[in-house]
Amino acid sequence: MSERITRPSPWGPLAVADAHLHFFSHHFFSTLVSQKPGLTLEAAGEHLGWALPPQAPEKLAEAWVHELDRNGVFASALIASVPGDEGSVTAATQAFPDRFFAYAMVNPRALTAGLPATFSKVHVACLFPAMHGYSIQDDCTRPVFEWAQAHRRAVFVHCGVLSVGVRKKLGLPSPFDMRFSNPVDVHAIALRYPEVPIIVPHFGAGYFREALMLADQCSNVHLDTSSSNQWMRYQAGHLTLREVFRHALEVAGPKRLLFGTDSSFFPRGWHQAIFEDQAKALYEIGTSEADARAIFGENLLRILAA
Ligand SMILES: [Zn+2]
């Protein structure tokens, strides 16, 4: 990562990397559209009010580079958000290797012999057990962890409440199964692969206590802070973002929190308000500049740029 642009923050200019940004590629969009008979790309784009992604992933990557530059963000994850779309994010990371990390969704139940060669340039394999109907403890996930261990890569495990906004808006069914979403289920596999960094997004998305229990037991577990964290409304009593951060810092510490926004589409682009809210909350609870640098970028680089 040669270029370290910064953005203003309560601590002064801060080098920011976003650990959670969806790359809604042309392939991703076409895949969703094909799931609804009669729907066209143009009609879907119009209905959503989104700019349709260019056909070439490099072009969409260029748009994100421009957007990150505009916001003073020096690097970000790019998440391929349907299985089989890793080619889009690896094309993007190859075009801009200093700016992006390739994350790619995989359905381990559909694998026949380990991860395909198309994963050779992927940094993080993303598992969504509730979406694809398997337990993270199932043997089908082993090849993913074996791949991560062999190539020093990370595994992202979505836990908690899963709602894919774009599916809802397009009227696509989301036959997910929340039984497979408890972070406690990650315990045994995290212990079995202690060198594989595991990322649980959105502080466990409703399973905050369980995500903290997991992080406390497994030093390879990291929590991403992304999204507006609507799961806080499931919590008994009134939980604020400040309290979430204070608690997460107490248990997981500053080296295992990864700032993320959950940005995804244009014209909205990079979700600046998420940064502002999280930076404010962390500053107000007295987070040091060193810890802020870790949470907002250095931790991601440490676990992925090895
Ligand atoms: Zn997301």
At 180, give phi and psi (nearest 5°): -95, 25
Residue 137 CA to ligand 1 centre (angstroms): 22
CA 152/CA 306 separation, integer angstroms = 7
Residue 155 CA to ligand 1 centre (angstroms): 14
Distances (CA, A) of 139 to 150, 211, 283: 17, 22, 43
Residue 22 CA to ligand 1 centre (angstroms): 6
CA-angle at 266, arms to 263 and 268, nearest 5°: 65
Summarised one tens digit per residue, pLDDT across range 161-199 is 998 889 999 999 889 999 999 999 999 999 999 999 999
What is residue 268's predicted lDDT score, i.e. its pLDDT?
95
Residue 262 CA to ligand 1 centre (angstroms): 5
Considering the entire predicted model, what is its pTM? 0.96
What is residue 236's predicted lDDT score, i.e. its pLDDT?
83
Residue 182 CA to ligand 1 centre (angstroms): 17
Residue 261 CA to ligand 1 centre (angstroms): 8
Closest CA to 166 of 52, 90, 76: 52
Residue 166 CA to ligand 1 centre (angstroms): 11
What is residue 7's predicted lDDT score, i.e. its pLDDT?
97
What is residue 235's predicted lDDT score, i.e. its pLDDT?
87
What is residue 306's predicted lDDT score, i.e. its pLDDT?
61
What is residue 4's predicted lDDT score, i.e. its pLDDT?
86
Low-confidence ranges of the chain (pLDDT < 70): 1-3, 306
Residue 271 CA to ligand 1 centre (angstroms): 12
* Residues surrounding ion ligand 1 at CB below 5 Å: 262
What is residue 3's predicted lDDT score, i.e. its pLDDT?
54
Residue 9 CA to ligand 1 centre (angstroms): 24
Residue 282 CA to ligand 1 centre (angstroms): 21
Is 60:54 a contact under the CB 8 Å cutoff? yes
Is 108:102 a contact under the CB 8 Å cutoff? no
Please, what's the b/e burial string for 263-292 (b: 16 or more CB within 10 A of its CB; e: otherwise)? bbbbeebbbbebbeebbebbeeeebeeebb
What is residue 97's predicted lDDT score, i.e. its pLDDT?
96
CA 151/CA 149 separation, integer angstroms = 6
